[in-house]
Structure 1
Amino acid sequence: MQLLMSLMLLLVVSSCEDQVETTYTYQTQVPVFLQVNSFREADIIIEPGKPLDNPGKIYIYGDYLFISEPGEGIHILDNSNPSSPRNLNFINIPGTGDMAINNNILYADNYVDLLAFDISDPQDIEMVKREEDVFPNLYTNEETGTIVTYKDTLITSTDPNMMWSSWGRPAFRSDFMAMESMAAYSGGSKSGGGQSYGQGGSMARFTLLGGHLYTVDDYDLRIFSVEEPTDPKYLKNINLGWGIETIFPFKGKLFIGSMTGMHIYDASNPSEPQKMAVYEHVTSCDPVVVNDDYAFVTLRSGALCRMGADELHVLDIKDLYNPQLIKSYPMENPHGLGLSGNYLYLAEGEHGLKSFNVADVMEISNNQIEHLKDYASIDIIPGPKSLIVIGPDGVCQFDYSDPEKLKELSCISVSFR
């Protein structure tokens, strides 16, 4: 009898355990169908400065810091004092992801269009040009005039198929790639040919060189003439294959990162860039920065990155037609990176921010300087006044005048943390 009662109690307990459910509230993205005419006819509104919600890309131009909100718009901050950046205003640009600035003209995508804004006076911004249908994508239906975009949405669920993203936020498996893809969208530019360019990060998809704007999407390099800055003109596109992610300019060359390798293009004739070489690697996400002799490429694993490697590759590019891998270093989950002289700053995702002395490229692992684990990071810009780091928690700036010891100057946190 005692044995029977014990068995019955065990069954009751097991039954109770089987019925336990866990409820999650999480942010994901749901599809939204838009008519092309609806966003073209809507006013681009310049709003007062507001808190960060979901930072995507960073860009600097003069004393100003630009921070994009994927799909929403661009924050403009007065960064003349990096210890106390001042929020000026917000350009409401639905469907935006990337930006670049040439001679006080800001270029940004608006779904399938390219917009140009005069930001000579950041307090009085004016849109000066819309170049239509220059960013076609897989989610455009030309017959019906509709596009598919995605909207961040809070959902409460007990679905057992839910998983945790790399930032510790829950998501459905089917939505994981969409959340990770925000990190893959941000270009480094300096100046040239009478133009005055800003500076973007290593994960940029827009960049400027030789009076031309270059953009990349999953498959193509697109070329625009911006020799007349207020009147950008689409010229052509060059198919690069698949998995194209980032673009970085250096001394008349374009270094294009993809999930399968790094493309090098000669842009000495800026309207007709010519392929010089392709360095191939295992399938991973792949931003790149370069100096005169070497390219530093991070390979990253993850759902969007086909579960590739987590490594830093160093390539000898003295012969740009024949780049050679000379050393690879294991990393944790490297994202963007920035190079300043002999110092490399590397965003390790949720694992923090690392810095290295890379004077000896064969001994980088033995020359790590710092690992700031509390700063989850996606991309980095070594700017003239500060080292700017963007991550899921916001944007932080550091004094790096002493590269051996970073000193935090300020942090702009996202509004919901």
Structure 2
Amino acid sequence: MKKYLLNGLLLIFAMAVLTQCKKNTDEFEVIQIAKAISLQEMRALPVGIKSPVKAKKTGKIYVYNDYLFINEPNKGIHIYNNVNPNAPVNLAFLQIPGNVDLAIRDNILYADSYVDLLAFDISSMNNIKQIKRVNDVFKQFFTTSVLKYVVIYKDTVVRKETYKNISFDASYSSSTGSSSGQGGSMARFTLLSDYLYTVGQSDLSLFDIKTASNPTFVKTINLGWGVETIFPYENKLFIGTNTGMHIFSAADAANPVKLSTYSHIFACDPVVVQGKYAFVTLRTGNFCRQTVNQLEVVDIEDPTKPKQLAVFQMQNPHGLSVINNNLFLCEGPFGIKSFNIENKSAIGNNMLQHLSQIKSYDVIAGPKSLIVTGEDGVYQFNYNNPANLSQMSVIKALTY
């Protein structure tokens, strides 16, 4: 029975995620095809530091000290020395199968590897070491609750007629006294007090990192389906879902308490916070299936009663970053925009610049540069004048 069930799952996954990678000849294509493997096989996959390579595709971005970390979805993390944002230096590739997110505290890098959490000592970038694996904490990757298999993606050469009629669109989903990094608004990992918080498709997971090198799983809190992002601010957690924004108090960091939910129509939803305002983007997308593309400003002065302050129409808003009186907003294939947000009720009338040629997914207003990741790579801009962003460098993905 288990054998037949597994074969059925394999067929479903294979049919679902066939995606074209590149053309070889008129007769053959290289595609990525899903394959279910056991946890034992998954944990035997190679993990560790390798010579620097260029990313084929860029995912989440993270800034820590003078380093820029760029995730390549399901492959690992590219590490750049970013002392000079005009000329970032590709140092190494940290191979982590099934990796999508990361966070860093006190020279310890935390990363997901399918169902497991891995911890790496990065105090020496030339000698990064895995120091811990916490098993079976990201349950959404299991094929079933009974059969312990995970799904990996493998480059496969096939004849065009094998898959030419298949079509599928998929989308994946600070602390006093410590040294932590900075992630983007699309992050599913974040740090607050002495805890690492991660969100899956329907839950919030907590890890005790009082001893940074020894992350310990604490518990999981169910949030309901459609969870997408997490953003920390002061002693609160703001969790974006495709139906709204959850606000949790983390005053007791080990026991987050839900304060409220700001609801909206079904739409993809990252969120960032500054002061008594939250900024939420809603967009059409792969799983959003709606026609709304807008920026919402939410008054959270009373976090138990969030209320909408203003709504501004956008083209296809993705990630965003706020610093001082400026907001930087990614418009997907339509570029990146900067706004003056001093008047929260008139942001739509105060656009400073629109770089329409940059395909943008997420953005970090970092200490040295504005870092923008998109379909074709990672850009860095001087943003001393938000009305005149000046490109400093670009790390191109290999597909471009």
Give, in whole Å, the separation in 2 of the partners of 1:361 and 1:145: 49
Q: Which of 389, 392, 395 is the aligned partner of 2:372? A: 389
Unaligned runs of 5+ in 2: 1-25
- The alpha carbon displacement at 1:306 in A equals 2.6
In structure 2, what is the equivalent of residue 366 of structure 1?
Answer: 349
Instruction: Return the TM-score normalized by structure 2.
Output: 0.90
Give, in whole Å, the separation in 2 of the partners of 1:124 and 1:393: 30
Alpha carbons 1:285, 1:299 under 8 Å: kept: yes
- The alpha carbon displacement at 1:352 in A equals 0.4
1:351 has 2:334 as partner: yes
| Count of residues paired in the alignment | 375
In structure 1, what is the equivalent of residue 305 of structure 2?
Answer: 322
Q: Which of 129, 132, 135 is the aligned partner of 2:135? A: 132
Instruction: Deviation per CA, 1:73-119: give whole Å up to 9, x if none.
Output: 00010000000000000011001110000100000011100000000
Amino acid in the other structure paired with 1:108 = A
Amino acid in the other structure paired with 2:341 = V
Unaligned runs of 5+ in 1: 1-22, 163-171, 186-190
- The alpha carbon displacement at 1:396 in A equals 0.3
In structure 1, what is the equivalent of residue 111 of structure 2?
Answer: 108
- SS at the partner of 2:139? coil
Give, in whole Å, the separation in 1 of the partners of 2:157 and 2:280: 35
Cα RMSD of the aligned pairs, angstroms, is 1.9
In structure 2, what is the equivalent of residue 337 of structure 1?
Answer: 320
Alpha carbons 1:299, 1:308 under 8 Å: kept: no
Give, in whole Å, the separation in 2 of the partners of 1:146 and 1:90: 26
- The alpha carbon displacement at 1:24 in A equals 10
Amino acid in the other structure paired with 1:231 = N
Moved more, 210-219 or 131-140: 131-140
In structure 2, what is the equivalent of residue 167 of structure 1?
Answer: none
- SS at the partner of 1:344? strand
1:31 has 2:34 as partner: yes
Alpha carbons 2:115, 2:142 under 8 Å: kept: no
In structure 1, what is the equivalent of residue 43 of structure 2?
Answer: 40
In structure 1, what is the equivalent of residue 280 of structure 2?
Answer: 297
Alpha carbons 1:283, 1:308 under 8 Å: kept: no
Give, in whole Å, the separation in 1 of the partners of 2:210 and 2:42: 27
Q: CA 1:55–1:160 in 2, change beyond 3 Å: closer, same or farther? A: closer
In structure 2, what is the equivalent of residue 223 of structure 1?
Answer: 206
Amino acid in the other structure paired with 1:245 = E
- The alpha carbon displacement at 1:43 in A equals 3.7
Q: CA 1:118–1:296 in 2, change beyond 3 Å: closer, same or farther? A: same
Instruction: Deviation per CA, 1:323-368: give whole Å up to 9, x if none.
Output: 1001111111100001011100000000000110011011111100
Alpha carbons 2:260, 2:303 under 8 Å: kept: yes
Alpha carbons 1:193, 1:211 under 8 Å: kept: no
Alpha carbons 2:198, 2:205 under 8 Å: kept: yes
Matches within 5 A, 1:13-412: 29-137=32-140, 139-141=142-144, 143-151=146-154, 157=160, 172-173=166-167, 175-176=168-169, 178=170, 181-182=171-172, 185=173, 191-412=174-395
Alpha carbons 1:49, 1:89 under 8 Å: kept: yes
Q: CA 1:27–1:296 in 2, change beyond 3 Å: closer, same or farther? A: farther
In structure 1, what is the equivalent of residue 23 of structure 2?
Answer: none
Give, in whole Å, the separation in 1 of the partners of 2:286 and 2:147: 32
Alpha carbons 1:302, 1:308 under 8 Å: kept: no
Structure of greater Rg: 1
Give, in whole Å, the separation in 2 of the partners of 1:143 and 1:159: 31
- SS at the partner of 1:314? strand
- The alpha carbon displacement at 1:403 in A equals 1.6
Give, in whole Å, the separation in 2 of the partners of 1:391 and 1:341: 24
Moved more, 342-351 or 40-49: 40-49
Amino acid in the other structure paired with 1:247 = I
Give, in whole Å, the separation in 1 of the partners of 2:45 and 2:335: 40
